[in-house]
Structure 1
Amino acid sequence: MKDDFDFIAYLKYQTYDEGGRMTPVQSGYRPQVRFDFEKSTSSGRQVFINKECVFPGEEVEAEITLMSPHLFKNKLYEGVKFEFLEGAKIIGVGEILKIKNETLKNNILS
């Protein structure tokens, strides 16, 4: 199978009290991803590393595939932070650990 992940990221899901989800999330979940420098969002499939399920408040590493990667060509670098959302509701935050899709990498900043 082709390795189609765009990057590996550290994710932290917010608890319900923090405005996050009430229920756990299964690996393969597709929330919206929003970077500070970009007004648009893209759906991003999260495949958790060594976990099948993440509960509110948990942290996990995941491989992420952006559904609209062309929006982020030459814009990403390791350490960039992002939010992930359900509709307009922020349910967690993330940080890129390693970029796997070289067309997304901003080589000036990395």
Structure 2
Amino acid sequence: MKDNFDFIAILKYRTTDEGGRWGPAQSGYRPQVRFDFEKITSSGRQVFINKEYVFPGEDVEAEITLLSPQFFENKLFKGLKFEFIEGAKIIGIGEILKIKNETLKKDI
């Protein structure tokens, strides 16, 4: 697995009762990522760690690569929560465990 991702996060996919996905998500999936401090979203490729598929309701660790990382320079930190979105629907939530792209790291 390549090491050119922006951060590692724990992801929780919503169940259908919560308004989430009907079926599993495959590693490499590219939903939109939204942080509370930004109105914009960015596509974020999710490569699951030690799993190929994740079913609704499951938690998984994933390596995330943002399509537009320049919008998030000096803004991300360990513990920061975010949503991932498919169309207009929030399909899950995440929390950053480790920042790998140093230009994105916020000094706190």
Q: CA offset at residue 2 of structure 1?
A: 5.2
The residue number in structure 2 matching 1:92 is 92
**Superposition RMSD on alpha carbons, in Å?**
1.0
The residue number in structure 2 matching 1:56 is 56
In 1, Cα distance between the equivalents of 2:28 and 2:104?
Answer: 21
In 1, Cα distance between the equivalents of 2:45 and 2:2?
Answer: 15
In 1, Cα distance between the equivalents of 2:66 and 2:98?
Answer: 14
Structure 1 letter corresponding to 2:36: D
In 2, Cα distance between the equivalents of 1:88 and 1:32?
Answer: 10
In 2, Cα distance between the equivalents of 1:62 and 1:71?
Answer: 21
Corresponding residue pairs, total = 108
In 2, Cα distance between the equivalents of 1:61 and 1:2?
Answer: 16
Specify the SS of the correspondent of 2:76.
coil
In 2, Cα distance between the equivalents of 1:94 and 1:26?
Answer: 16
The residue number in structure 2 matching 1:45 is 45
In 1, Cα distance between the equivalents of 2:34 and 2:40?
Answer: 7
Structure 2 letter corresponding to 1:19: G
The residue number in structure 2 matching 1:36 is 36
Query: TM-score under structure 1 normalisation?
Result: 0.96
In 2, Cα distance between the equivalents of 1:75 and 1:29?
Answer: 24
Detail structure 1 runs of 4+ shifted over 2 Å in the superposition: none
Unaligned 5+ runs, structure 2: none
Superposition pairs of residues 1-110 of structure 1, within 5 angstroms: 3-107=3-107, 109=108
In 2, Cα distance between the equivalents of 1:48 and 1:2?
Answer: 12
Structure 2 letter corresponding to 1:61: E
In 2, Cα distance between the equivalents of 1:68 and 1:52?
Answer: 25
Percent identity among equivalent residues?
80
